[in-house]
A and B are shown apart, each in its own frame.
Chain A
C-alpha cells in the first residue's frame, strides 16, 4: 500500500472520529467541512476524469485546525496538476481579539494584487496557496499582515521562499495609506525585492484608490513598475467608474526571475481593467493579460433612469507600450425589472482584439410563476470578422432554464457557429441541478460543449472541447 493511501486512511479515520465523537463527547468542539466531487467521461476521447476535494475544520475556543484531502485520478486536461491523491493542505490557526496567527497553508492578498496574490479558484483549477506562517492584526486605525512561506505553483511545486508584509493605516475617516513589500532569495543572485505604496480616499460622493508598485532585481531583470488607479463618482441616479493601468515589466513569476525554466505561477495578479461580462461569448475575446507590457483604461457610466431600470455604458482600451492596440470595447446595456417576478436585460457592443472584431448582442428574460417556478431565456449573438484574412462568421448561444425553487433547475444549452474552420457547427447539452438533503448540490451535464476561454472573476483558462457526461456533487457538513 502506498504512503499516500496510508495518509488517506488516517485522514478518513480522523473524519470518522470527529464526525461521531466531536458532537457527542466534545460539545465545545465545532466540526465543519465540505466536499467537492467531480466525475466526467469524455466519450469523444474515451477518457474519464475523477477529482475530489474534501476539507475538514475543527474549532475549539480560539483555536482552529483544518486539513484538505484531494485526489485527481486524473485531473481535467486544463489543470496542470498531476494525477495523485493525499493530504494537500493543513493548517493551525489561533485567533485572539484583533490577532490571527496561521501556521500551515494559507492564501494572501496584498492591496489590489499588484505585489502578491495567492488564491484558489477550483473551477479554473487554480491554487497557489502558501505553506508557511502568517500574522494578521486589525485595529481601527491600522492593520497589517506579516507572512513567510513557500507558494505552490500550478504544477504543485514549492520552490521559492517568500517573505513579506503589508501595512494599512487609516489616520482619518476619509483617508487610508499603506505599503507592502515582498522579497525572496535567489541562489545565484542574492535577495530581490518588490513592493508598493497605496492610498485610498472615501467621500460621500465618491471613492478613489491608487497603487504604485516597484521592484528591485538589480542586475537580473530590467527595472519594472506597475500603476493602478481606480475611482467611483456618484451623483443622484448617475455613477461613473474610471480605472487606469500601466504595467511595465511587472509579471512576477516563480523562478523565472532567475532565468530557470518557467513555471506556471505568478506571484502577482494585477487588475485587468476591462469589463468582465456576465455572458459567455463576450468573454471569449483573445486578450490575455500581460503585466510586462500593458497600458489602458476603463470608463463605465450608469444611469438609474427609473426605479427599476438601469442603463450602463462602458468603454475600455488596452495598448502595449509601443502604442499597438491590444483590446478595445464599447458596450451598452439596459436592465429592466418591471415586477418582482419579471426582468429583462438587453445589451450590445463591439470588441476588437489583435485577432478579430466582434459585434455582440445579448437578450435575456426571466419570468416567475406560481411562487416557486421560473423560466429564463438567454440569447447571445456574436458576429466575428477575423482581421488578417477578412473571414466572417457568427456564433449563437441559447440557454433555456426552468427552475423549481429550491430543489432543481433543468437547462438546455445550444451553441452554433458558421465558422468554416471549426470542426463542429452545433453543440447541444442538457443540465440538471438538484439540491437535496439540505446540504447536497448535484449537477449532471450531458452533451457537448465548445472549447473556449473561461473567465471567473477576471482569471481565465482555456478549456478544450468536451462531449460526454459530467457529474458534480458539492456537500457541506
Chain B
C-alpha cells in the first residue's frame, strides 16, 4: 500500500515537473546568500546584481569531475574577465577538508573568487545535493542556466550562454 501510494506520488511529481519545467526553469530569482571568502571577509551575492553576469561553480577538493571542470573554468575566466563577468567558485569542502582549499587553489593558480560553503547550505539553496554544479545568473539576478555534473565539452554551453547574456546586455 505504502509503495503503491509513493509510486503514484512520484509519477505525479515527475509529470508535473515535466509539464511545468519549461515555465519554471527559466527566470527564477537567484537566492541571495552571504559566504566567507578565503580572507574571512563576507561576500553577499545580491551586491553583484546589476553589474554583469555571474557564473557560480560549486566544487570540492575531493571531487574528480570538479577538478576537471575548474581547469576549464580557469580558461573561461581568462577569456571573459575583462567583460564584467563575476566568477564564483564555491567550495563545498566540509570542516574535514576545508583546510586544504587554500593550498589547492594556490597550487592550481585559480584566479577567480573562492567562497566557502562549509556546510553545503548554499548548494542546497540552489537545488543541488552534490558538486560539480554550475549556475549562470543574468545581470538582473535571474537564473538562466544550471548544470549538474561535468563532461569535457560542457563548458562550451556555458560560453554560449555567457555570450548570449553579454550580447543582450550590450543591446540594452
Chain A residues in contact with chain B, CB under 8 A? 5, 8, 12, 15-16, 19-20, 23, 30-37, 50, 52, 54-55, 59, 64, 69, 71, 73, 83-85, 95, 98, 107-109, 111-113, 117, 119-120, 122-123, 138-140, 143, 170, 173, 176, 200, 202, 207, 209, 230, 232, 234, 239-241, 243, 269-272, 276-278, 300, 302, 304, 310, 312, 337, 340-341, 343, 366, 368, 371-374, 403-406, 409, 433, 435, 437-439, 441, 456-459, 473-477
8 A–B contacts from the bound complex (CB under 8 Å):
A34-B127, A71-B6, A112-B95, A232-B99, A457-B93, A458-B95, A474-B129, A475-B14
B118 CB contacts on chain A under 8 angstroms? 109
Taking CB atoms and an 8 Å cut-off, the chain B residues in 118-172 that contact chain A are 118-121, 124, 127-130, 146-149, 151-154, 156-157
A202 CB contacts on chain B under 8 angstroms? 38-40
Q: Is the pair B42, A143 in contact by a Cβ cutoff of 8 Å?
A: yes
Min distance, Cβ B69 to any Cβ of chain A, angstroms: 11
Q: Is the pair A19, B38 in contact by a Cβ cutoff of 8 Å?
A: no
Please encode chain B, from 55 to 69, with 1 for each CB lying within 8 Å of some chain A CB and 0 for all others. 000001111100110
Interface size counted on chain B using CB atoms at 8 A = 72
Known: A12-B9, A71-B6, A243-B99. A374 touches B151 (CB 8 A): yes
Known: A33-B127, A173-B39, A456-B62. 18 other contacts (CB 8 A): A5-B2, A19-B16, A98-B34, A107-B119, A202-B38, A230-B99, A241-B99, A269-B96, A278-B67, A300-B100, A372-B153, A405-B151, A405-B153, A439-B17, A457-B92, A473-B14, A474-B148, A477-B20
Q: Is the pair B20, A117 in contact by a Cβ cutoff of 8 Å?
A: no
Q: Is the pair A71, B16 in contact by a Cβ cutoff of 8 Å?
A: no
Q: Is the pair B40, A200 in contact by a Cβ cutoff of 8 Å?
A: yes
Known: A170-B40, A232-B106, A278-B64. A36 touches B129 (CB 8 A): yes
Q: Is the pair B106, A234 in contact by a Cβ cutoff of 8 Å?
A: yes
B109 CB contacts on chain A under 8 angstroms? 304
Q: Is the pair A30, B3 in contact by a Cβ cutoff of 8 Å?
A: no
Q: Is the pair B153, A35 in contact by a Cβ cutoff of 8 Å?
A: no
Q: Is the pair B151, A403 in contact by a Cβ cutoff of 8 Å?
A: yes
B156 CB contacts on chain A under 8 angstroms? 371-372, 405
A242 to B108, CA, bound (A): 18
A232 CB contacts on chain B under 8 angstroms? 99, 102-103, 106
A139 to B40, CA, bound (A): 12
A173 to B38, CA, bound (A): 12
B75 CB contacts on chain A under 8 angstroms? 340
In the complex, whether B82 has a CB less than 8 A from a CB of chain A is no
Min distance, Cβ B128 to any Cβ of chain A, angstroms: 7
Q: Is the pair A73, B2 in contact by a Cβ cutoff of 8 Å?
A: yes
B42 CB contacts on chain A under 8 angstroms? 138-140, 143
Considering only CB atoms, which chain B residue lies closest to A455 in the complex? B62
A85 to B3, CA, bound (A): 9
A33 CB contacts on chain B under 8 angstroms? 127
Q: Is the pair B21, A241 in contact by a Cβ cutoff of 8 Å?
A: no
A374 CB contacts on chain B under 8 angstroms? 151-153
Q: Is the pair A54, B13 in contact by a Cβ cutoff of 8 Å?
A: yes
Closest 6 CB pairs of A and B: A458-B96, A405-B153, A113-B95, A230-B99, A374-B152, A302-B107
Q: Is the pair A138, B100 in contact by a Cβ cutoff of 8 Å?
A: no
Q: Is the pair A276, B121 in contact by a Cβ cutoff of 8 Å?
A: no
Considering only CB atoms, which chain B residue lies closest to A476 in the complex? B127
B6 CB contacts on chain A under 8 angstroms? 8, 50, 52, 71, 73, 85
A170 to B6, CA, bound (A): 50
Q: Is the pair B157, A406 in contact by a Cβ cutoff of 8 Å?
A: yes
Q: Is the pair B96, A239 in contact by a Cβ cutoff of 8 Å?
A: no
A341 to B156, CA, bound (A): 13
In the complex, whether B84 has a CB less than 8 A from a CB of chain A is no
Known: A109-B119, A276-B61, A373-B153. A458 touches B17 (CB 8 A): no
Considering only CB atoms, which chain A residue lies closest to B24 in the complex? A477
Q: Is the pair A85, B151 in contact by a Cβ cutoff of 8 Å?
A: no
Q: Is the pair B107, A304 in contact by a Cβ cutoff of 8 Å?
A: yes
Known: A232-B102, A406-B151. A32 touches B28 (CB 8 A): yes
Taking CB atoms and an 8 Å cut-off, the chain B residues in 2-51 that contact chain A are 2-3, 5-6, 9-10, 12-14, 16-18, 20-21, 23-25, 28-29, 31-32, 34, 38-42, 44
In the complex, whether B78 has a CB less than 8 A from a CB of chain A is no
B25 CB contacts on chain A under 8 angstroms? 438-439, 476-477
A404 CB contacts on chain B under 8 angstroms? 151
In the complex, whether B98 has a CB less than 8 A from a CB of chain A is yes
A140 to B160, CA, bound (A): 36
A232 to B99, CA, bound (A): 8
B106, B146, B148: which contacts A239 (Cβ < 8 A)? B106
A406 CB contacts on chain B under 8 angstroms? 147, 151, 153-154, 157
A457 to B124, CA, bound (A): 16
In the complex, whether B81 has a CB less than 8 A from a CB of chain A is no
A435 to B150, CA, bound (A): 11
A35, A36, A243, A337: which contacts B71 (Cβ < 8 A)? A337
A31 to B17, CA, bound (A): 12
A468 to B119, CA, bound (A): 33
Considering only CB atoms, which chain A residue lies closest to B155 in the complex? A405
Q: Is the pair A269, B10 in contact by a Cβ cutoff of 8 Å?
A: no
Q: Is the pair B121, A368 in contact by a Cβ cutoff of 8 Å?
A: no
Q: Is the pair A59, B3 in contact by a Cβ cutoff of 8 Å?
A: no
A139 to B44, CA, bound (A): 11
Q: Is the pair A50, B3 in contact by a Cβ cutoff of 8 Å?
A: yes
Q: Is the pair A117, B119 in contact by a Cβ cutoff of 8 Å?
A: yes
A424 to B32, CA, bound (A): 51
Min distance, Cβ B46 to any Cβ of chain A, angstroms: 10
A35 to B28, CA, bound (A): 17
**Of listed A111, A173, A271, A366, residue having the most chain B CB within 10 A:** A271
Min distance, Cβ A3 to any Cβ of chain B, angstroms: 12
Min distance, Cβ B10 to any Cβ of chain A, angstroms: 6
